[in-house]
Amino acid sequence: MTGLAVVLAFTPFVRAWALQRKFLDRSTQFHSGHTRLVPRFGGAALFLAFSLLFLLIRLGVDRHAIPAESSVIFWTCLAMFILGLWDDLRSIDARVKLLIQIGIAFWAFKGGLQVGRFQNPFTHQIHLMGWLDGPVTVLWLIGVTNLVNLVDGIDGLAAGLVLVLMILLAIVSASAGSVFSLLIAMGMCGATSAFLFFNFPPARIFMGDGGAYFLGLLIAEMALFNSNKGTIAAALTVPFFALGIPIIDTSFAIIRRFLIGLPLFRADRRHIHHRLVAMGFSQRHVVLLLYGGCAFFALLGLAVLIQNGRLLPILFGVFMLAMLLSARVFGFVSGWYKLGRVLTDSVMRRKQTRYALLLGQLLEMDAERCATMEDLWKEFGLLVGRLRMQGVEWHRGDEVWRYGRASGSDLFVVDHTFRNETGEKMLFSCATDQWEFETFRLLTELATESWLRAAHRWEHLQKA
């Protein structure tokens, strides 16, 4: 009840403060699945609930039931929350964030949160990790942390996933006999349930990177803690299965970005929730569908727990089958027979992607020397022309800016509507003999990103 009460009571104050300070979701994030400007500091209420839970457990539970690793769990979660909060306030370079996350994960490893052993799913023999223990532990911690943050791209999804994971961790903690982990998991079940009251579509507040990073690390650390107290297969594979949707989504994203030449940490509009929205589902329906997917994978995890890992090889095969079917259903390839064509086109797309990214960097530099927004728009028109497009339109309410003009009947047209309250959109046109459609759509996304960054930089310089 503590977590539930704290979040219900404190979240409205966080929301009001953020609205007053105008600390809202960054509208320049072209790839965000959120549709409105909403405060993104809900993670503060969630971390406060966790802090009070931790304090009450330390004060009210017999000290022999409090593990030595509890302190490192609290302080590393605090560090990860601060990192995410910093990123919410001032966007941090992805490589810098990753380095800091590695440092926090290594701190947790040195504090006693370690994988330590590996259980062979076929023979059930236990093997020591040896020198691999450090790298595998760090990879687990930062992997789960970023998986939770990845799904926070649409209202209510990350909070719902965390709720499912906390329920599973409570079950695993009970089976492992860990009072500390059980109380934390139950308390955070209440906290995330209360947060969903404010976060379910249409969301009134987001957890932000601060909340997502903190919750992701907490889940990963509790799984490691339980692995040292109970059955290794159950403690680590139950959350692994429950994270099935973000694992599948991330795997596709890594392969996709490699094939088209995008940096691995760069966002795009090809995530599962983007594709479901593009299919015509509302945000609520998308969230409910993905909740159903999370529940399916959670049941696989529970089966591992109930059977003490004996069904792990079979259920892992089910997991891989779900991944292959997702590749087909969500359009990673439009048909199995086209996989060879995707690989063949990869070389050409990587070259065009690099060229478009370089042009985008030049446009950002042009923002420093353009006296007016109209001058910057002309520079953007040159970028569009270099990408062999016929024209572009920028719609801002009743105002329309144009560069070039589409002519002829054989045209590709792509419309990118920004997910903000102004309803802005970019409309690109290109002759069909210039590009294959998927390549053209990719280039329009990169061009739109470039314009948003350059325009944002120009406005920032004018205010300075």
- Containing structural domain, residue 78: 2-329
Q: Which comes out higher in pLDDT, residue 3 or 385?
A: 385
Boundary-marking domain end, from 329, 362, 389 = 329
Are 167 and 273 in the same domain? yes
Tell me: the pLDDT tens digits for 387-439? 999 889 988 877 888 888 766 667 888 888 776 555 678 899 998 888 888 88
Answer whether the bond into residue 313 is a cis peptide, omega within 30°.
no
CB 439 within 8 A of CB 348: yes
CB 237 within 8 A of CB 301: yes
Return the percent helix, strand and coil in the chain, to nearest 5: 65, 5, 25
Are 316 and 389 in the same domain? no
Strand order in the sheet with 399-404: 399-404, 391-396, 425-431, 411-417
Asked if residue 344 belongs to a domain, the reply is no
Asked if residue 174 belongs to a domain, the reply is yes
Boundary-marking domain end, from 329, 359, 384 = 329
Average of per-residue pLDDT values in the chain: 82
Give the whole-angstrom CA distance, residue 140 versus residue 216. 11
Q: Is the pTM of this model over 0.75?
A: yes
Whether 108 shows a pLDDT value over 90: the answer reads yes
Asked if residue 357 belongs to a domain, the reply is no
Are 176 and 310 in the same domain? yes
Are 312 and 423 in the same domain? no
CB 53 within 8 A of CB 190: no
Asked if residue 349 belongs to a domain, the reply is no
Are 287 and 167 in the same domain? yes
Boundary-marking domain end, from 329, 361, 389 = 329
Contacts of residue 12, Cβ cutoff 8 Å, sequence gap at least 6: none
The mean pLDDT value for 212-234 works out to: 79
What is the C-alpha end-to-end distance of the chain, expressed in Å? 48
Are 399 and 319 in the same domain? no
The number of domains in the chain is: 2
Are 282 and 411 in the same domain? no
Are 379 and 321 in the same domain? no
Are 14 and 101 in the same domain? yes
Q: How confident is the model at residue 333 (pLDDT cuts 50, 70, 90)?
A: low
Asked if residue 340 belongs to a domain, the reply is no
Closest CA to 247 of 198, 306, 205, 300: 300
Give the whole-angstrom CA distance, residue 248 versus residue 296. 14
Are 304 and 235 in the same domain? yes
Tell me: the pLDDT tens digits for 1-52? 778 888 988 888 888 887 776 666 554 455 555 555 678 888 899 999 999 9
Asked if residue 253 belongs to a domain, the reply is yes
Amino acid 105: pLDDT:
95
Are 407 and 324 in the same domain? no
What letter represents residue 365's amino acid?
A: M
402-428 core/surface letters (b: 16 or more CB in 10 A; e: else)? ebeebeeeeebebebebbbeeebebbb
